[in-house]
């Protein structure tokens, strides 16, 4: 089967690509207009392309049109699950159109390697997007390979981002990190004060 693999970044590509390429002809597509700002988009793209070139992995980069993402999530900015589903639908729709145009049979995504993503939302958005373009969506769950992807990406010195990609997820991730920092600080043993006389 000829599979177009939507990739969100270099670290997430590692394990899903290897697993799929063992059984299918795989080409990678980078279609991520959600990533903000442009410098972050370019850093993730360049990290992925550097790895792909080193491995001889065929990769296509679709045009960066953040205005398409803004339109797709308009009105959903504060509704995280709905916003994320719209985002997945847009990106996987881009990959599906590209796959159909290139004569591929199916689309898969590296998004399913992350334990931080909603697998059900990804798969429903992917199935809907692919059905609209007449290609199959490969339902995958690579989460068991996440630890290996983290280890390998660190060994390779890859850039590893600390938020999903959009400006809203950057804010949400920063808030979560701050909450964890406060919680950790609260659990630390406090130095004993002076005994009162």
Domains and CATH numbers, the chain: 2-187 (3.40.50.620)
Q: In 3-state terms, the chain is what percent helix, strand and coil (to 5)?
A: 55, 10, 30
What are 79-127's pLDDT values in tens digits? 889 999 999 999 999 999 999 999 999 999 999 999 989 999 999 999 9
> Is residue 190's pLDDT more than 70?
no
Q: Which of 84, 141, 144 is nearest to 110 (CA)?
A: 141
Say whether pLDDT at 154 is over 80: yes
Distance CA 99, CA 131 (A): 12
Tell me if residue 102 falls in helix, strand or coil: coil
Q: What is the pLDDT of residues 15-74, one digit of tens each?
A: 999 999 999 999 999 999 999 999 999 999 999 999 999 999 999 999 999 999 999 999
Q: How confident is the model at residue 193 (pLDDT cuts 50, 70, 90)?
A: very low
Single pTM value for the model:
0.89
Per-residue pLDDT band for 194 (boundaries 50, 70, 90) equals very low
Q: What is the dihedral of CA 162, 124, 3, 153, to 10 degrees?
A: 20
Contact between 12 and 149 (Cβ < 8 Å): yes
String of b and e for 148-160 (b: at least 16 CB within 10 Å)? ebbeebeeeebee
Mean pLDDT, range 136-144, rounded to an integer:
98
Q: Where are the alpha helices (DSSP H) in 10-145?
A: 10-21, 38-55, 66-73, 80-101, 119-133
* Interval 170-180 mean pLDDT: 84
136-137 and 59-61 strand pairing: unpaired
More confident residue, 188 or 9: 9
Higher pLDDT, 79 or 13: 13
Question: Helix 80-101 crosses helix 66-73 at what angle (to 10 degrees)?
Answer: 130
């Amino acid at each position: 089967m000829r599979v177009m693999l939507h990739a969100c970044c270099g670290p997430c590509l590692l394990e899903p690509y290897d697993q799929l390429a063992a059984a299918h002809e795989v080409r990678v597509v980078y279609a991520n207009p959600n990533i903000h700002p442009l410098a972050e988009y370019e850093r993730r793209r360049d990290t992925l392309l550097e790895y792909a070139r080193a491995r001889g992995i065929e990769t296509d980069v679709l045009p960066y049109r953040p205005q398409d993402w803004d339109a797709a999530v308009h009105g959903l900015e504060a509704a995280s699950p709905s916003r994320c589903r719209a985002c997945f639908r847009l990106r996987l729709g881009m990959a599906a159109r590209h796959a159909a145009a290139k004569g591929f049979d199916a689309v898969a995504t590296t998004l399913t390697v992350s334990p931080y993503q909603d697998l059900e939302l990804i798969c429903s958005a992917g199935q809907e997007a692919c059905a609209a373009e007449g290609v199959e969506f490969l339902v995958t769950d690579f989460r068991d390979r996440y630890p290996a992807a983290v280890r390998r990406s660190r060994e390779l010195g890859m850039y590893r981002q600390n938020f999903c990609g959009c400006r809203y997820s950057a804010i949400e991730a920063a808030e979560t990190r701050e909450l964890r920092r406060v919680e950790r600080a609260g659990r630390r043993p406090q130095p004993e004060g002076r005994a009162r006389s």
